[in-house]
């Protein structure tokens, strides 16, 4: 689904996509697959609409399996490195240009935790 919201700061619209996936099983790489879908939507938007900016893509998985969803909820959980390393380096790179609110939603971390990780990443460089 594509939504258009009027901008408050200037003329035009902000575009946001809502990606909804239904799942009855818990695939190991569900979080990674969602990121690929999100990137494909962004790529389509750039090529089809000649966009100058990446659109916001909000993903939701509707799980109705016989058991609770126990899979990874973030791609950081799928990395074979200690969580503090994944958070420090992966989020450090992401935090350079993505708003803290979006990173918080992607990772499940609070904005304070992300600021702390970003700060420690900058100090180690």
- Region of 107 (left: φ > 0; alpha: ψ -120 to 50; beta: rest) is alpha
pLDDT at 54 over 60: yes
* Residue predicted with more confidence, 54 or 110: 54
Token output for 101? 């609110």
pLDDT at 114 over 70: no
> Do 84 and 63 fall into the same domain?
no
Residue numbers of the domain that contains 20: 1-73
6-20, 48-62, 92-106: range with lowest mean pLDDT: 92-106
The strand pair at 13-23 and 2-6 is best described as: antiparallel
> Do 60 and 95 fall into the same domain?
no
How far apart CA 74 and CA 107 sit, in angstroms, is 6
pTM for this prediction: 0.64
Contact 27, 70 (CB under 8 A): no
pLDDT at 6 over 70: yes
How far apart CA 102 and CA 109 sit, in angstroms, is 10
Domain count, the chain: 2
Q: What is the Cα gyration radius of the chain?
A: 16
The strand pair at 2-6 and 56-63 is best described as: unpaired
- How would residue 82 be classed by pLDDT, with cut points 50, 70 and 90? confident
> Do 68 and 88 fall into the same domain?
no
> Do 1 and 56 fall into the same domain?
yes
- How would residue 71 be classed by pLDDT, with cut points 50, 70 and 90? confident
CA angle 35, 41, 46 (to 5 degrees): 125
> Do 59 and 109 fall into the same domain?
no
């Amino acid at each position: 689904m594509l939504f258009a919201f009027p901008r408050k700061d200037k003329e035009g619209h902000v575009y946001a996509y809502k990606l909804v996936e239904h799942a009855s099983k818990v695939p190991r790489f569900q979080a990674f697959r969602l990121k690929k879908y999100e990137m494909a939507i962004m790529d389509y938007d750039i090529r089809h609409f000649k966009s100058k900016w990446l659109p916001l893509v909000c993903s939701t998985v509707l799980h109705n399996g016989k058991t609770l969803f126990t899979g990874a909820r973030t791609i950081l959980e799928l990395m074979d490195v200690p969580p503090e390393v994944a958070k420090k380096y992966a989020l450090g790179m992401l935090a350079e240009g993505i708003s803290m609110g979006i990173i918080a939603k992607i990772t499940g971390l609070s904005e304070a935790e992300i600021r702390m990780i970003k700060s420690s990443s900058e100090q180690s460089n």
